[in-house]
């Protein structure tokens, strides 16, 4: 994907627009200018022109950029279009834009091929002159998120998520503690146990800790529903087909943790993953059941398919016990967020206006789109129960907001908290973003951490 020494064989790659091509065209050698004219190349977005030299060898590449996609994805389509060879990027770029483009180039090489026997063709490589550690770390982190989400459920159950966390810990000198099965009841994580107890794959709380305890404490919480049948409120088959991705929140926090540890951010990191298989058996939790939470509040089960907020509420309550500087959770929580924002824009909620503004600023800086929705407190009325403190589901309106409000009941106001409701899946292929598992908001959150916790 990258080369770190530029040879004489390296081919210049120039990004153009329909406007800039006119000026650039006048500044190149005559045969190249004639070639562009003969080809009728105009620099339209996502179009490529391979320009030969006088001897017929590839001498230069022009590629039309799509301004609407942002700089992050400017190079992402090229790895699948260019002939095998060595290339270098021509032109003047500031460090931030160049770094983002090179991350996009790296992600353009991504394929989930663990279960394929077809050999992939050799890909082109791009000369990387600086920032290799950072760029590779970002590509690897996002690739990890994608790989975990793409993994079939029979290869990614709670015990498999635990092993991923343990492997990360070994590489980065972190510590992992896991509470499994009936021990969850003993350690006061009743909702995680209730949701996962019906499966032969025991539920668990996975905790990873890393960093210097004198540094700011950042807690990441990720929903780890490794497969979601919907429980006794079973999903129709069409809605169940992609439910291997319901551990997308866990994948996000593991990928983000890898990036934080690999680039050694000066924070004390805690990662919490409630990992379950929402299965159906004689011991499955039922609509109408009332369950206790770690915080002591009781919840009436209105719908067993609203299970993500149940496992998260215990993890969030536990996260708050150490008074972290910030708690950020990722979850594939509601279809309502997709109706509101579409599948490609992650929604986020924050209980702190300053945190919301900082995340939005980080989104702009990182070219990683996220969008804030309101924690509209009057909607909490929709979660009122006649027999318990809360119901786990409301009516059909404002579902993303009521889910966030449910979680907010388990986070003290004194602790800044953000909740990301993500699709974690690409329904269509775009440059650098094939159909399948996707990291959404990860680069924005990482940029927020850099901007606010790195001097």
pLDDT one-digit tens code per residue, 90-116: 888 898 999 999 999 999 999 999 898
pLDDT band at 241 (very low <50, low <70, confident <90, very high): very high
Q: Is the pLDDT of residue 139 over 90?
A: yes
338-390 pLDDT tens trace: 999 999 999 999 999 999 999 999 999 999 999 999 999 999 999 999 999 99
Greater pLDDT, 230 or 130 = 230
Question: Does the pLDDT of residue 66 top 90, yes or no?
Answer: no
Q: Which one of the listed residues 25, 33, 235, 430 is annotated catalytic? A: 235
Q: How far apart are CA 24 and CA 90, in angstroms?
A: 12
Q: How far apart are CA 143 and CA 140, in angstroms?
A: 5
Average pLDDT taken over every residue of the chain: 95
Domains of the chain, first to last = 2-109 (3.40.220.10), 137-453 (3.40.630.10)
CA dihedral 316, 317, 323, 327 (to 10 degrees): 10
**pLDDT of 120 over the 90 cut:** no
The answer to whether residue 328 scores a pLDDT higher than 90 is yes
* Stretch 213-217: mean pLDDT: 97
pLDDT of 91:
84
pTM of the model: 0.96
Instruction: Give the active site residue among 309, 382, 433, 447.
Output: 309
Check whether 144 has a pLDDT greater than 90.
yes
58 class by beta-carbon count within 10 Å (0-12 exposed, 13-18 middle, 19+ buried): middle
Query: How much is the pLDDT for 19?
Result: 86
Ramachandran region, residue 121 (left: φ > 0; alpha: ψ -120 to 50; beta: rest):
beta
Is residue 309 among the annotated active site residues? yes
Residue 455 has pLDDT above 80, yes or no: no
> CA angle, corner 132, sides to 433 and 151, nearest 5?
35
> What's the pLDDT at 215?
98
Question: Largest alpha-carbon pair distance within the chain?
Answer: 83
* Mean pLDDT (whole number) for 236-257: 97
Query: Which pLDDT band, with edges at 50, 70 and 90, does 68 fall under?
Result: confident
**pLDDT band per the 50, 70, 90 thresholds, residue 20:** confident
Would you call 384 a catalytic residue per the annotation?
A: no
- pLDDT exceeds 80 at position 121: no
Lowest mean pLDDT among 65-74, 245-254, 262-271: 65-74
Q: Whose structure tokens read 């690739």?
A: 143
pLDDT in tens, 419-437: 999 999 999 999 999 999 9
Q: Mean of the pLDDT values across residues 214-224?
A: 98
């Amino acid at each position: 994907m990258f080369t770190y020494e530029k040879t004489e064989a390296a081919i210049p790659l120039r990004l153009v627009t329909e406007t800039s091509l006119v000026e650039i065209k006048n500044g190149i050698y005559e045969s190249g200018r004639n070639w562009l004219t003969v080809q009728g190349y105009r620099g339209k977005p996502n179009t490529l022109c391979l320009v030969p030299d006088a001897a017929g060898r590839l001498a230069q590449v022009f590629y039309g950029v799509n301004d609407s996609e942002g700089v992050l994805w400017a190079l992402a389509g090229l790895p699948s279009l260019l002939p095998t060879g060595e290339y270098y990027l021509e032109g003047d770029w500031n460090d931030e834009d160049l770094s983002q483009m090179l991350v996009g180039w790296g992600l353009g090489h991504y394929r989930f091929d663990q279960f394929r026997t077809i050999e992939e063709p050799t890909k082109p490589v791009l000369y990387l002159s600086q920032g290799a550690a950072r760029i590779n770390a970002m590509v690897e982190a996002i690739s990890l998120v994608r790989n975990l989400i793409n993994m079939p459920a029979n290869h990614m159950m709670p015990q498999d998520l635990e092993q991923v966390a343990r492997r990360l810990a070994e590489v980065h000198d972190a510590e992992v503690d896991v509470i499994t099965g009936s021990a969850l009841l003993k350690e006061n994580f009743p909702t995680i146990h209730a949701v996962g107890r019906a499966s032969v794959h025991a539920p668990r709380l996975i905790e990873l800790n890393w960093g210097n305890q004198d540094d700011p404490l950042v807690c990441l919480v990720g929903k780890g529903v490794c497969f979601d049948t919907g429980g006794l409120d079973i999903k129709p088959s069409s809605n169940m087909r992609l439910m291997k991705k319901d551990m997308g929140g866990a994948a996000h926090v593991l990928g983000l943790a890898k990036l934080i540890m690999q680039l050694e951010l000066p924070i004390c990191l805690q990662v919490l993953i409630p990992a379950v298989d929402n299965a159906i058996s004689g011991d499955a939790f039922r609509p109408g059941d009332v369950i206790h939470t770690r915080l002591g509040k009781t919840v009436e089960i209105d719908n067993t398919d609203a299970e993500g907020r149940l496992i998260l509420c215990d993890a969030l309550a536990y996260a708050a016990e150490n008074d972290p500087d910030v708690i950020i959770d990722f979850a594939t929580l509601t279809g309502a967020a997709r109706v509101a924002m579409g599948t490609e824009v992650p929604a986020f909620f924050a209980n702190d206006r300053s945190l919301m503004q900082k995340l939005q600023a980080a989104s702009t800086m990182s070219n990683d789109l996220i969008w804030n929705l309101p924690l509209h407190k009057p909607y909490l009325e929709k979660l009122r129960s006649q027999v318990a403190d809360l119901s786990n589901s409301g009516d059909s309106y404002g579902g993303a907001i009521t889910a966030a409000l449910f979680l907010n009941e388990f986070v003290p106001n004194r602790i800044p908290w953000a909740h990301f409701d993500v699709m974690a899946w690409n329904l269509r292929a775009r440059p650098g973003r094939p159909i399948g598992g996707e990291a959404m908001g990860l680069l924005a959150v990482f940029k927020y951490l850099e901007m606010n916790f790195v001097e």
